[in-house]
Amino acid sequence: MLLHSVLHILKKKLKNQNPHILEHDMKVLLPLAIAMSLLTTAHVGAEELSGTLKKVKESGVIVLGHRDSSIPFSYLANDAKPIGYSVDISNKIVEAVKKELKMPNLQVRYNLVTSQTRIPLVQNGTVDVECGSTTNNIERQKQAAFSLGIFEIGTRLLTKKGGAIKDFPDLAGKNVVTTAGTTSERILKKMNEDKKMNMNIISAKDHGESFLMLESNRAVAFMMDDALLAGEMAKAKKPSEWDIVGKPQSYEIYGCLLRKDDPQFKKIVDSAIASTYKSGEINTIYKRWFESPVPPKGLNLNFPMSDDFKELIAKPTDKSAEQM
Amino acid sequence: MNYHWDWGVFFKPTGIGSEIYLDWFMTGLGWTIALALTSWIIALFIGTIIGVARTLPNKIIANLAAGYVALFRNVPLLIQLFIWYFMVPDYLPESLELWFKQDINPATSAFISTVICLGLFTAARVAEQIRTGIEALPQGQINAGLALGLRLPQLYKDVLLPQAFRIIIPPITSEFLNVFKNSSVASLIGLMELLAQTKQTAEFTANLFEAFTLATLIYFVLNMSLMLLMRKLEKRVQVPGLIALGGK
Amino acid sequence: MNDNVTMIRFNNVNKWYGRDHHVLKNLNLEVKQGEVVVVCGPSGSGKSTLIRTINQLEAINDGEIWVDGIQANSTKTNINKLREEVGFVFQHFNLYPHLSVLENITLAPINVKKVPAAQAKQQALELLERVGLLNKKDAYPSNLSGGQQQRVAIARGLAMNPRVMLFDEPTSALDPEMIGEVLAVMKQLAESGMTMMVVTHEMGFAREVADRVIFLDHGEIVEDTMPESFFTSPQTDRAKQFLRQILSPMDQ
């Protein structure tokens, strides 16, 4: 609760005040907020357990939702167990839950979700927390709660290196591919309509197919979250042939999906994420997945941390980018 | 389960132009019907030829037709679609390949690939029904035609097929309905038919259950009307005692 | 009857079903133009097979079959052309259930002989009148009795103006009270001078209408004679036994 009120104050400042002052406030307030939140979590044990924590305590199992091919966030490589950046974050959450419930032998079960099933599976209790590449947005907030942001992306273009496409205006009259159901799809369609760009937009079923459309010359560019574009690029036959270009058309914050109205559990999840940021451990995790070779092919995404994400780490929030 | 229901979601603006979500469903329905009907025409035409070929006395032709059926019936539809959409264009002459991939609208190229794929796939299933229908006819019908000097094409056109089609209306109806359901594979190559529009609405609004409920309802109404239509057709062309007649 | 013109001739015809079943054994047979020949014999004797080889609904393995000067079993023969000249009436009628009586009759003349539709229809109506079914021209086969269906089937065969009419047990599938109407039509046809070969057990018909009776047993022609002598003085024991069975079955 305290954390929330502090964040609330921060947000007000964000909206109304000079950014310099804000930054200063932030440096002072954030550690305070985290310390307070840690303090409050320590008290949860004394309270009556409710919601997810109660369920986990009683069943002795926590269920993590994961994806099968959101490289490098959450995917299956050589093992039945998922790996990835977001999986590492969810493991931090599990550790915090173990500590909170004093259950060192808490069982962890992984449950595969898709973009269509993730929200209902969290809602109906099949999955307790889903950390993958789920964008936090207002529509989804009606159905589920989001943790503090775990990543921030910009939506950009993947295209032939040195080709005709340098930025979004160059797409006029061309075939452009994006993945069905993503924010990029909506932005692209809106841009096409508003600016009368006369693009032909292909909505492929997943990122792999989107890239295939690009690779097989059906489209001149692939619009998507830059981190996922880096993932697809790394999988290409010749990664050096491709380039990520264009001014980001939107920024999106990924978060872990939780059930709504479960403050006890959300507090644990948020504090686990916040302390990973605070301790600097996030840098190790980031490096492991974005700047080192990753399974299954040992590809290095070479995707350094963006300033936007650095800012998110400094000022964690559970709001969507549009609400900022 | 604390799901946030909102049935008004279909009337909300999509944020793209002046469209509401319901418009997406209607566009999707339009594509679904266009896909299914075009594929069905191809399937009926080719399926009849293959089905007839399977019953011909010429063993080579009959075996080729059987091979067609085995191939198209046993390879999963999705794989066939990917072959038609991703692989076949690469083997076209370069100018045709570029035309298919870049010059025509991506929706058109996805449409062409899907109707070819679905048409040929369903043709294999229709062919089996046609064959069954022909084989169910008494040998006496063939003999009577032959004895009168009917040539093979005349025998099929005037004697066997008109009867076979009447016999197989019920199973052929279910194939017809399947084409509508199967047309949803087009969503996997980016054609925004009904299922694709449903998924898109679900993603954009996070009102997954409303979107899929509406889609279910549309598919249901569509299939029920088609079924009633086929029943009517069956009644209209009905010939009393068709199967009971005839002998050796 | 023209005694000099041979309409059907079998020269040493052999047919096997599979490897072991020798169904037609070295048959030799001649039917003159205008002749009415009844073929009879016990079941399994090969009589149905014999009549079906004439228009090649059944192929033969060896020998020659000639119809109106054309070799039916030659690969060089256009068998469809030959079939146009040979009418065939089946035990089970085999009318087309999806076509009206009139359409059943006109189908082949219009499609095969390319007779103008109006003319084909006119001829069909005349034939229907001949078989006494003019009032049924628009009925469908399923609405007709067996006897009526068989009369339509005869009219259908005649619509092609055949040189020969073959009948394969035309009354066996009929209820007894309907046999007479069909035999009457056949008799009338015989009197008009049509060359006919009839597989039947209707011995009354054989006696009254046929010029010759052929008795077939185990794929062989056992007797080939005038009806009167076949019935009054059969030459073989097999024929005698067959006649006993067929004329007074209760005595067995």
- At A67 the three-state DSSP class reads coil
Helix ranges (DSSP H) in A105-171: 118-123, 138-143
Residues A182 and A130 in one domain: no
Strands C36-40 and C212-217: parallel
Closest Cα in chain B, distance from residue C133 (Å): 20
One-letter amino acid at A203 equals S
Average pLDDT for residues A269-295, to the nearest whole number?
96
Residue pairs spanning B and C at CB distance below 8 A = 94
Is the pLDDT at C190 greater than 60, yes or no?
yes
ipTM over 0.95: no
Q: How many residues does chain C have?
A: 252
Numbered residues of chain B with Cβ closer than 8 Å to any chain A Cβ: 1-4, 6, 14-17, 86, 89-90, 98, 101-102, 105-107, 109-110, 187-190, 192, 196, 199-200, 202-209
Domain carrying residue A181: 154-250
C81 inside 8 A of chain B by CB: yes
Structure tokens at B140: 């006496």
CATH C-level class of B25-193: mainly alpha
User: How far is residue B239 from each of residues B235, C52, C106, measured CA to CA in Å?
Assistant: 9, 29, 19
Is the pLDDT at B110 greater than 60, yes or no?
yes
Closest Cα in chain B, distance from residue C100 (Å): 10
- At A178 the three-state DSSP class reads strand
Indicate the number of domains in chain A.
Answer: 3
pLDDT at B242: 66
Residues A138 and A116 in one domain: yes
Mean pLDDT of chain C: 93
Residues of A in contact with B208 (CB under 8 A): 116, 119-120
Note whether B247 contacts C97, CB cutoff 8 Å. no
Residues A24 and A98 in one domain: no
Closest Cα in chain B, distance from residue C92 (Å): 5
Average pLDDT for residues A240-246, to the nearest whole number?
94
Per-residue confidence band for B27, with pLDDT thresholds at 50, 70 and 90: very high
Facing B15 at nearest CB: one of A125, A186, A205: A186
Choose the weakest-confidence range: A5-19, A133-147, B95-109: A5-19
Residues of C in contact with B241 (CB under 8 A): 97, 141-142
One-letter amino acid at B20 equals I
Give contacts of C 220-249 with B, CB under 8 A: none
Chains touching C, CB cut-off 8 Å, 3+ pairs: B
How far apart CA C227 and CA C202 sit, in angstroms, is: 12
Q: Which residues pair with A254 in a beta bridge?
A: A135, A151
Structure tokens at C91: 């035990």
- At C171 the three-state DSSP class reads coil
Residues A133 and A259 in one domain: yes
Is the pLDDT at A2 greater than 50, yes or no?
no
Closest Cα in chain B, distance from residue C96 (Å): 7
Average pLDDT for residues C85-99, to the nearest whole number?
95
Is the pLDDT at A73 greater than 60, yes or no?
yes
CB distance A203 to A158 below 8 Å: no
B149 inside 8 A of chain C by CB: yes
Is the pLDDT at A231 greater than 60, yes or no?
yes
Whether A and B touch (3+ CB pairs < 8 Å), yes or no: yes
pTM reported for the whole predicted model:
0.84
CB distance B20 to B11 below 8 Å: yes
> Which is nearest to A144 in space by CA: A261, A49, A65, A52?
A261
Residues A40 and A184 in one domain: no
Is the pLDDT at A39 greater than 60, yes or no?
no
Residues of B in contact with C142 (CB under 8 A): 239-242, 244-245
Identify the closest residue of chain C to B139 by CA–CA distance.
C94
Taking each helix axis from N to C terminus, what angle separates B169-182 and B21-55, rounded to the nearest 10 degrees?
A: 140
pLDDT at A166: 96
Note whether A218 contacts B15, CB cutoff 8 Å. no
Residues of C in contact with B147 (CB under 8 A): 55, 57, 83, 86-88, 90, 157
Chains touching B, CB cut-off 8 Å, 3+ pairs: A, C
pLDDT tens-digit readout, A189-200:
999 999 999 999
Residues A64 and A146 in one domain: yes
Choose the weakest-confidence range: A216-220, A237-241, C14-18, C57-61: A237-241
Give contacts of B 163-192 with C, CB under 8 A: 163, 166
Note whether A200 contacts B204, CB cutoff 8 Å. no
Structure tokens at A180: 């069905």
Whether B and C touch (3+ CB pairs < 8 Å), yes or no: yes
Interface with chain B: mutation pick from C78, C84, C89, C96, highest number of B CBs within 10 Å: C96
Residues A59 and A142 in one domain: yes
Per-residue confidence band for C176, with pLDDT thresholds at 50, 70 and 90: very high
Identify the closest residue of chain B to C158 by CA–CA distance.
B148
Q: How many residues does chain A have?
A: 324
Note whether B143 contacts C57, CB cutoff 8 Å. yes
Note whether B107 contacts A200, CB cutoff 8 Å. yes
Residues A15 and A62 in one domain: no
User: How far is residue A12 from each of residues A9, A37, A323, C153, measured CA to CA in Å?
Assistant: 5, 19, 12, 97
Q: Which residue has the higher pLDDT, A319 or A7?
A: A319
CB distance A287 to A281 below 8 Å: no
Which residue is it, tokens 């017809």?
Answer: B176
Is the pLDDT at B235 greater than 50, yes or no?
yes
We report the CATH number of the domain holding residue A303 as: 3.40.190.10
Identify the closest residue of chain B to A196 by CA–CA distance.
B17
Average pLDDT for residues C102-127, to the nearest whole number?
96
A250, A269, A287 — which closes off a domain? A250
pLDDT at B114: 97
Average pLDDT for residues B164-176, to the nearest whole number?
93
Is the pLDDT at C251 greater than 70, yes or no?
no
Facing B240 at nearest CB: one of C93, C108, C142: C142
Identify the closest residue of chain C to B240 by CA–CA distance.
C142
Residues 6+ apart with CB under 8 A from B8: none
B153 inside 8 A of chain C by CB: no
Which residue is it, tokens 């047979």?
Answer: C29
Identify the closest residue of chain B to C110 by CA–CA distance.
B150
DSSP 8-state symbol, A166: S
